Amino acid sequence: MKKTVSLVLASILGGILTLLGYYYFSEQFQINTRLEAADSGKIIQTKFVPATTYEAEATDFTKAAAETLNAVVHVKNRTTYTPNTLEFFFGNGRTQEVVGTGSGVIISPDGYIVTNNHVIKGASDIEITLNNNKMYKAEVIGTHPNSDIALVKIDASNLPFITFADSDNVRVGEWVLAVGNPFNLTSTVTAGIVSAKGRDIHLPETRNRMIESFIQTDAAVNPGNSGGALVNTRGELIGINTAISSQTGSYVGYSFAVPSNIAKKVVEDLMEFGDVKTAYLGIVPLEVNGETSKELGLKESEGVLVKGFSTNSRAERAGLEVNDIIIGLDDVKVSKYSNLEGFLSAKRPGDVVNVKVLRDGVEKEFKVRLSNQFGNETIGELDFSKYLIGDLKKIPKSLANEYRLNFGVQIVKLRNNFLKNKISEGDVILRIGEHRVRDVKEVESALRKYKGKDVSIQLLNKEGFVDYLKITVYQ
């Protein structure tokens, strides 16, 4: 009897435990199922491209590096340095040789090489070393200080070279390579991305004369890289490395390159004309930003405001008006002045461009034929002297005898309004820079030698005193 009771109790207890176990594990299964469902989230349709159809940009730089290394050269320049009076007496008094180095880019198989103007400036001797260690003497074909571009040539053939790309198509964020010879370390390649375009870095040594519409990159660039190549991942030239922003003189994160479109145009002009043809819209510009927008009560905070027009302005002739805001040139967006400056630096007088403006909030477009600094497409025989000073004539014999002069050119009519408070009609020009002038053609010739630079003019005023004046000669 006792055994029977024990079996019954054991059976009841087992059943109770079985039921409790069932309910416990059943509840846990339901909880886990709810958690998994909650983790999976609600399915929402999006516009993302399926991973199977998205193709990432290639980041293999080996092909681009291999194609460009042999086309980037080492540039060594030698400059003769003559000591000043103090150094002559307290030093050894001897003429010294200063050696500078940089980089250059071969752009044709017959030996044309583009570099920076500051790399070869003042050089009495230029030596080019190829990546295979062959050395050549280089001849200067031409320089353009305003863009810091110079063109030299070596006597060679069948050289590897880099082709130009359209720098207007460069995108912020795309991968680039900087190729050059920093610290005399030949054949150096660094990688980075394009950080910005149309950058104006206000180089102090240019005194606002240099074209500043740089490509900014974080590819490491150091002293010696100047004149080297900035290339895309296809090995095409998109810029000439020119400057770094640094308080130490070495790379700290930012470097700047002259866009290839500007470099290409400068090189072509130097090869064809021996000089650079600069294009102008013929406007007096003012960059529109937050400050100027607030000051002038404008709705827009980007673009270039037309404050006025130059003499013989092609833009005014095409229909632009004062207070128009330029926002585009052809397919290039103009959000700041450096965009406009960079675009025009790749054009020539006579080129026709499509100018997009905002006028009272309404977009309008005009076709403008660009001109030179004098409002024409070609430079006249006396344009520089006429526009920078005025109408001139050889010094009258009576005045020459009075002051015992056998040279000098008199100002008959002053045309440059900016000089009216500094010189007067009747004053006599004695020298332009270091050049003594005897007739109008000599004044014109002397002024042209200082294109893009400041030059000092020595004058004999009507009171009989010698005076000096500094002017900037239009490029």
Distance CA 97, CA 452 (A): 28
The helix (run of H) or strand (run of E) holding residue 70 is: none
Contact 184, 226 (CB under 8 A): no
Residue 6: what pLDDT? 55
Catalytic site residue 6?
no
Which of 159, 141, 138, 160 shows the shortest CA–CA distance to 151?
Answer: 141
Which of 341, 329, 358 shows the shortest CA–CA distance to 197?
Answer: 341
Contact 328, 356 (CB under 8 A): yes
In this structure, what DSSP letter does residue 371 have? B
3-state secondary structure of 24: helix
Contact 149, 119 (CB under 8 A): no
Of the residues 118, 147, 338, 345, which is catalytic? 118
Measured in whole angstroms, the distance separating CA 91 from the mean position of its chain's CA atoms is 41
Query: Both tokens of residue 222?
Result: 């150091």
* Own/partner long-range contacts of 434-442 (Cβ < 8 Å, ≥24 apart): 436/407, 437/407, 437/408, 437/409, 438/394, 438/406, 438/407, 438/408, 438/409, 439/394, 439/409, 440/382, 440/385, 440/392, 440/393, 440/394, 440/409, 441/382, 442/409
Distance CA 290, CA 69 (A): 44
Give the chain's domains with CATH numbers.
72-154 (2.40.10.10), 167-272 (2.40.10.10), 283-369 (2.30.42.10), 383-472 (2.30.42.10)
Residue 247: what pLDDT? 65
Of the residues 148, 269, 383, 427, which is catalytic? 148
Nearest 5°: CA angle at 275, between 112 and 438? 140
Distance CA 432, CA 470 (A): 10
Contact 276, 269 (CB under 8 A): yes
- Residues near 63 by beta carbon (within 8 Å), at least 6 away in sequence: 235
Catalytic site residue 313?
no
In this structure, what DSSP letter does residue 389 have? T
pLDDT in tens, 330-385: 999 999 999 999 999 999 999 999 999 999 999 999 999 999 988 899 888 999 99
pLDDT in tens, 23-47: 444 444 443 333 233 333 344 343 4
Residue 440, amino acid: V
Contact 150, 258 (CB under 8 A): no
Which of 229, 216, 226 shows the shortest CA–CA distance to 260?
Answer: 229
Of the chain, the end-to-end C-alpha distance in Å amounts to 125
Of the residues 226, 260, 313, 338, which is catalytic? 226
| Residue spans of alpha helices (H) in 218-336 | 260-272, 290-296, 314-318
Query: Both tokens of residue 454?
Result: 């400041």
Contact 376, 312 (CB under 8 A): yes
Measured in whole angstroms, the distance separating CA 197 from the mean position of its chain's CA atoms is 9
Ranges of residues in the chain whose predicted pLDDT is under 50: 2, 5, 8, 23-56, 88-89, 205-207
Calculate Rg over the CA atoms of the chain: 35
Length of the chain: 475
Contact 187, 145 (CB under 8 A): no
Residue 12: what pLDDT? 56
Nearest 5°: CA angle at 210, between 205 and 213? 120
pTM: 0.79
Residue 92: what pLDDT? 57
Catalytic site residue 454?
no
